[in-house]
A = this chain, B = another copy of it.
Amino acid sequence: MIQFQCDYNQTCHPAILDALRVIGMEQNVGYGCDLYCEQARSAIKSAINRPDADVHFLVGGTQANATVISSVLRPYQGVLSADSGHINVHETGAIEHSGHKVLALHATNGKITAQQIQQAVDAHSADEGPEHCVQPGMVYISFPTEVGTIYSLSELEAIQTVCHTNHLPLFIDGARLGYGLCSPQCDVALTDIARLADVFYIGGTKVGAMMGEAVVITAADLKPHFRYHIKQNGGMLAKGWLLGVQFLTLFTDNLYLRIAKNAIEQAMRLKQALISKGYTLYADSPTNQQFVILTNEQAQSLSSQFLFERWATVDATHVAVRFCTSWATTASDVDTLIAAL
């Protein structure tokens, strides 16, 4: 069975396991206060050109989202998000569990616009009794989005401007950040992300690491006491250097973006094959997630040889499915899939 169902189905890049083997039985202090974490922080701050940033290593995405969002909001505030956003649909209400409403905006191709954000703020302000409603307190977007699309630099800048004007911190979920930045359609650089977001994270779990998300805080007022939030939310890894070593490896010699490229190259090969074979794309994704409409029979047939995700029912006889590539996807596996299509 060849697996295309997600981009976190292989342990990690071999360089990471090597790095852990090198450490061996070395002793390190806990909770992210070790030298590897310190070096990884430096490497990241250098890569994003934000020497002033705070960098924290968390284990997973839901944890990172809930910790960041609950650290930013006041109790009566909610987070503006695409209705298709991960926090709104696939985190078992972790944000609500922390006391906050996800203020869902209708997404188009997984994205929301600066205008929608301004409208939400205006609608709240225009209310004669605004205290009866949840106050928009921050903005959450993902890059790439849940359906593999990416914001253009001008879209991001417009969002940042609206956020800045309305004093709404902008949080970018970068669980698949590498796959967005490597897309041929992408005109956004890592340094742009770090310049525009008040807080964001660089996803490791899906891009070469065993686990780990590097949360980067650039806004000065969001920095204090973040370690308390991490600990309270159960996200402070005892052996923090496990994350430090991984991110240090990924941010040495640009490994992070180099391996991300493989996912995009394989995804583009698959996408071209789908198009040339006459399949209808369900979404036009420039990143590592590809969505295509199959007949139920086609889907059934493919499932004997491949794992992939059934994304949505299209009609009685068709289904939209998702194929994911990753840093580890081989050309040969994609060839096999293309041949079977």
Contacts and interface: CB of A to CB of B under 8 A. Distances in A.
A90 interface: yes
Contacts of A17: 17, 20-21
A6 B240 CA distance: 13
A30 B9 contact: yes
Contacts of A29: 3, 5, 9, 307
A341 B90 CA distance: 51
Interface string A305-341: 0010110000000000000000010000000000000
A96 interface: yes
A61 to B, nearest CB: 8
A107 to B, nearest CB: 15
A10 interface: yes
Contacts of A2: 27
Contact of A132 (B70, B71, B92, B99): B92
A102 B101 CA distance: 8
Interface in A208-224: 210-211
Total copies of this chain within the assembly = 4
Contacts of A94: 231-234
B11 A92 contact: no
Contacts of A5: 29
A75 B97 contact: yes
Contacts of A234: 60, 62-63, 66-67, 94, 233-235
The A interface is mostly helix, strand or loop, or mixed, namely loop
A253 interface: no
Contact of A25 (B25, B130, B328): B328
A75 B232 contact: yes
A323 to B, nearest CB: 14
A121 to B, nearest CB: 15
Nearest to A102: B101
A9 B25 contact: no
10 contacts: A11-B26, A59-B60, A60-B234, A78-B93, A78-B96, A96-B100, A131-B225, A206-B238, A210-B239, A234-B235
Given A8-B238, A92-B133, A92-B134, 15 more contacts: A3-B27, A8-B239, A9-B29, A11-B20, A11-B241, A63-B234, A70-B75, A71-B75, A78-B93, A96-B100, A97-B99, A130-B228, A135-B225, A135-B228, A234-B235
